[in-house]
Every structure is written in structure tokens, then in C-alpha cells.
Amino acid sequence: MPDPAVPPTPPVPLAALLAREDLGLRQIAGPSDPSAVIHWAHTSEMADPYPYLLGGELLLTAGVHIPEAAGSGTYFDDYVSRIVAAGGAALGFGLAPVHDTVPRALVAACDTYELPLLEVPPRTTFSGVARAVWQLMAQARHAELRRVTEAQQSLAAAASRPNPVPSVLRQLAQRLGGRAVLFGPDGAELASAGRPAQHVARKALVELAQVVRPSGPGTPTAATHVTAGTHLAAYSLGAGHGFVLGVAVPGREAGDHTIASVAAVLLSLLTGEHQSGSGAARASALVRLLLGASAEDVAPLLGAGEWIVVHARPDPPTAPDPVAASALGAALGSPLVDVARDVVRVLLPAEREPGPQPGWTLGVSAVAGPAQWAVADAQAGRALARARATRAELVRYGARPALADLVAEEDAEAHARSLLAPLAAPLPETLRTWLSLHGSWDRTAVALDVHRNTVRQRIAKCAALLEADLDDPDVRMELWFALRRP
């Protein structure tokens, strides 16, 4: 029998439908299995309903298709066998207006093929049965969402406790009614919680954990298996360190995978910190900076020599959300994230080339060593401003050799200070942005988050203080040369 192509909604226990007094349904044939479920209700009067079934249905019929001499031949056997072959879950037969009773041959066929047969009384319409199925589905969905939400909250609370890994495992085992195990990179059981599993299930769980442990491209991140009546699942906790979460439960319920996935994400964060020591290294780097160490001294603690700074703003522009900022850092491949008033800054190793991120506008600096972090930060800010002004997803700071490289750094800085001395903040940044956007008032206003009239006023003030004609290309070139200095 093919697996039903069931919808993404919780199934309805057949027993729950039979318990509805308003329907008056009665099972008269087939096995009475408390675990039997249906995924939807479908009405058909076709003699061969197979082509019209997807699997998992309660098929409803009034017997219009039944010929008069059907009881003496193989009609009902053929009919029921086709329903079973299509994956039908149960058959509902409506009394009146065609038949006063359910044909005996149909009852016998359903018993033979172990298909539950329900008698639908004359007062109950097929649409009423279908409505009851959807009502029960909605109730089950609501209960599932509530269960998942409560589990998420309890798992998050467990992750914040002093011993987070054992706490998360205990909470997961309690919520699933089974056992939760954390396997180390070498396959050893590091921690566990919940009811002990049978020996054969424990052995199978160890083997399943090996399936998802990172071993190269194409390794699955999750796997499931059933052995000795126990449902097993294994989840890889990140591609870098080899920790695996294993779960063994006596019966799998709706929402179990979602709950286990939340626990896997939390344990991935916790074990990632434990394995790499990155959390301690970042804390140590911060303390050393606060105590006066240079960026070059603390950079080795972060694990790379050259870096890139990324500035990001949400689309549409809003105050960055810390959770979304952390997710952005994870997507870019770095936990070094700073959430400011209107921008998220990410420091990441140079080998992790950033790409466009949905929902964000990015500005990317040139590659820089620790001594140039401040310069790279300014470059990323300028790249972000240009990206926003030009409505680009990502703009990289142009770091190719230029004429400015022919002038000694100290001479260039001295000339820039002298030329721009009359300008006080925010005039230099406004002038630099305006020149970079070819004198566009509107795009400069967007890049600086100010009104276009404010841009006009600032540029006019720059022209007056510098006593320069900003429409002159030579003047613009000299100013641009000076404004490029950090």
C-alpha cells in the first residue's frame, strides 16, 4: 500500500470521529484499532475510486454505484480491495435514499480486507461528516501548536540555567516522554536524560547518530528509524564539531520533530561554545581590550589574521532586532555581532566572503588586519550608505590602487586636514556622500537619513566655508581626494 500523500495537518483518530454523538456513526466491520487515523474525508460514487484517492481518506458513499446483482459476484471484493490499494483509511456507507441497510457482502469484504466500515445514519449528511473531520483537525492543530509553544519556552528557560546542556536534555525527554542523549564527536554518550531505552534501541540510536555525524558533502542533518517499537531520531548539531542529539520515544506524536529541532538548535549553540572555546576566547579578547591591550594583541584569540567588517540595515529600515542580528551573523559565518541604534556590524574572517542576505542591505569593507579595524569600519559604513542610496543589496568598498596611493600617507593626511579644517561635523560626511553620489540630492538624503533640503543647506554651507565652487570638477576631485582619508 502506498504511503498517503497526507496534508501538513494533524490526523484525526477514527475513534474521535466515532465518539461524536451528533454524527451517530457506527463501525460495523473491519478492525477496531485505537491508533487508526484519517487525514481527510472524500465523497465518491465511482465504482472504482482508486484513481481519485490520495491515501488516508475516509471515503463516503451512498452506494449509488452498486449494481443490483452485486451481492452474488466479486463486485464488493473488487471495490474494497481497490480502496485499500489506494491507501484509503476507512469507508463510510450512508443509509438512504438508495439503501436501507449496508449490504452484507460489503460488510464481509471490509472484514476480509481489514478496512474499517462505518454506518452513516440517514440524519447525518456527508458534508456534516466532512465538517466534523475538519473541526477535529483544527482542534488537534491548536493543541499541537500550544504543546510546541510551551515546549519551546521550557527549553529556552532550560538553556539559560547554570548547567544548560543537562537541563535541555531533561526538558526534552520530559516533553517527548522518552529519552534524549547527547553524543560526542567520537560517538561516546556524553549526557542523557529520561526513561532508559531497550538495549536494541540504544544500539540502533548509536548507529543512527553515526549516519548524521558530518563526514563530507551530502551528509544528512537528521535521520529517523523505528526499531523494537521505539521511534528513533538523530540530529547533527552543526557541521563543524560532530556533536549529535539522539531521541528515543515509544510513540511519535505530532509536533515531536519541531520540539526536538528546537532542542537541537539550542544544544548546537551550547556545544559549539564548549567545543571551540570561542565564547571564552571572545570574552578574553573583550577584557584585554578594556584593560588596554591593542587590537593586534587580542586578534589571535579570535582565530584569524585578516578580517572584513560588514555594516547591515534591515529592509525596510527599522531598529535592528537582536535576534535577527544574531541570525544575520550566523548566516555570514561569525558570532562577532554588534547591534547599534540603526545598524548591525559584523566582524568576520576574510576568507568568509559575504553575500547578499534576504531582508538586509549590506556594506562590506576591504580586507584589513587588526590595526586597520577602525578604517575598515568606516569603509563598511560608506559602502552601506552607497548601497542604500543606489538600492543595491550589497556594495563592497572599492580598495583597488588609485592615484592617492602615489602620495605619502602623512602628506595626504596633512593636506586633507588643512583643506577640510573649516568644516565641522556633519558637513564632511555630507559632502563626501554627496560627491560619491554624483551630486544627487535625493540619494544623498536617503544615504544619510535626512531631508533633501537639509542636504542642500549643508552643501551650500560647505561651499561657503571652503570658498569653493563645488560645480568645478577640479575642486570636486581635490575635495574627494581629501575626504577619502579616514
Mean model confidence pLDDT for the chain: 85
Q: Do domains 12-137 and 404-483 have the same CATH topology?
A: no
Name the residue ranges covered by the structural domains of the chain: 12-137, 160-276, 303-396, 404-483
Compute the distance between CA of residue 353 and CA of residue 366 in angstroms, rounded to an integer: 11
Structural class in CATH, domain 404-483: mainly alpha
State residue 466 phi and psi, 5-degree precision. Answer: -85, -10
Kindly list the averaged pLDDT for each block of 10 residues, start to end, along the chain of length 486: 53 93 96 91 95 93 91 91 96 93 95 97 95 91 87 86 82 92 85 85 89 75 87 80 87 84 84 54 71 77 80 81 71 80 86 84 90 87 86 80 56 80 89 89 89 92 90 86 74
DSSP secondary structure letters along 187-227: S-EEEEEESPPPHHHHHHHHHHHHHHS--STT--SEEEEEE
Write down the pLDDT at residue 363. 93
Residue 360 three-state SS: strand
With b for 16 or more beta-carbon neighbours within 10 A and e for fewer, the 254-293 pattern comes to bbbbbbbbbbbebbbbbbbbbbeebeebbeebeeeeeeee
The dihedral of CA 244, 245, 251, 252: what is its sign?
negative
Domain 12-137, CATH number (from 1.10.10.10, 3.40.640.10, 3.40.50.1970, 3.40.1390.20): 3.40.1390.20
Q: What is the pLDDT of residues 332-376, one digit of tens each?
A: 877 788 887 788 899 888 888 888 888 889 999 998 888 888 888
Write down the pLDDT at residue 174. 92
DSSP secondary structure letters along 369-431: -GGGHHHHHHHHHHHHHHHHHTT-SEEE---S--GGGGS-HHHHHHHHHHHHTT--TTHHHHH
Q: What is the pLDDT of residues 424-452, one digit of tens each?
A: 888 989 998 998 888 899 999 988 888 99
Please report, in angstroms and rounded to a whole number, the separation of the first and last CA atoms in the chain: 71
**Letter for the amino acid at 242?**
G
Write down the pLDDT at residue 243. 86
What is the signed CA dihedral for 327, 332, 337, 343, rounded to 10 degrees?
Answer: -80
Rg (CA), the chain: 34
- Helix, strand, coil tally for the chain in percent (to 5): 45, 15, 35
Compute the distance between CA of residue 374 and CA of residue 372 in angstroms, rounded to an integer: 5
Domain 160-276, CATH number (from 3.30.450.30, 3.40.50.2300, 3.30.565.10, 3.40.640.10): 3.30.450.30
